Amino acid sequence: MADRTIALASDHAGYDLKLELACLVADLGFEPLDLGTHDRESVDYPDFGAELGRAVADGRAALGVLVCGTGIGISIAANRNPAVRAALCHDTTTARLARQHNDANVLSIGARTTGPETAKDILRAFLETPFEGGRHARRVDKLATC
């Protein structure tokens, strides 16, 4: 990956896990870009999903990582940006296939549904797996027009 910047964003429910994942991003040799939230005070997940979507769309980051309570709301928000392909993952197989087949550019994780060690394994799989291209590229291209 040419650009090693990985954007991260969460709401209050995902704040602690986001910090742990940001450390792992750095440990793996990437550059974390933390788009908030910056404490545990209650906030609205759409604001953070949308901002992370903009960061990926405008090239501030190559990939993004989202965390909210379930990972659902914040991924819905990010996916409203046409440049975003956010995948909510609960296991490493899904994370790997989201990269290989869907060229997912945003990973979403639920802090209330996924333990921190599993979340780190998921993030590792996501960051280390390339898009396979080939027949999958045709399908991913179609996503832009549906």
Active site residues: 68, 101
Query: What's the min distance (Å) between Cβ of 11 and ligand RB5?
Result: 5
What pairing do the DSSP bridges indicate for beta strands 86-88 and 31-34?
Answer: unpaired
Query: What's the min distance (Å) between Cβ of 117 and ligand RB5?
Result: 20
Does 116 bind ligand RB5 (CB under 6 A)? Our answer is: no
What is the C-alpha to C-alpha distance for residues 96 and 69, in angstroms, rounded to an integer? 22
Helix boundaries (H) for 28-114: 45-57, 72-79, 92-100
**Are 48 and 105 in contact, with CB atoms under 8 Å apart?**
no
# binding residues, ligand RB5 (CB under 6 A): 8
What is the C-alpha to C-alpha distance for residues 73 and 80, in angstroms, rounded to an integer? 11
Does 48 bind ligand RB5 (CB under 6 A)? Our answer is: no
Does 15 bind ligand RB5 (CB under 6 A)? Our answer is: no
What is the C-alpha to C-alpha distance for residues 126 and 100, in angstroms, rounded to an integer? 9
Q: Which string of x and - marks every residue 59-98 that binds ligand RB5 (by CB under 6 A)? A: ---------xxx-xx-------------------------
Cβ distance to ligand RB5 smaller for residue 10 or 81: 10
Does 103 bind ligand RB5 (CB under 6 A)? Our answer is: no
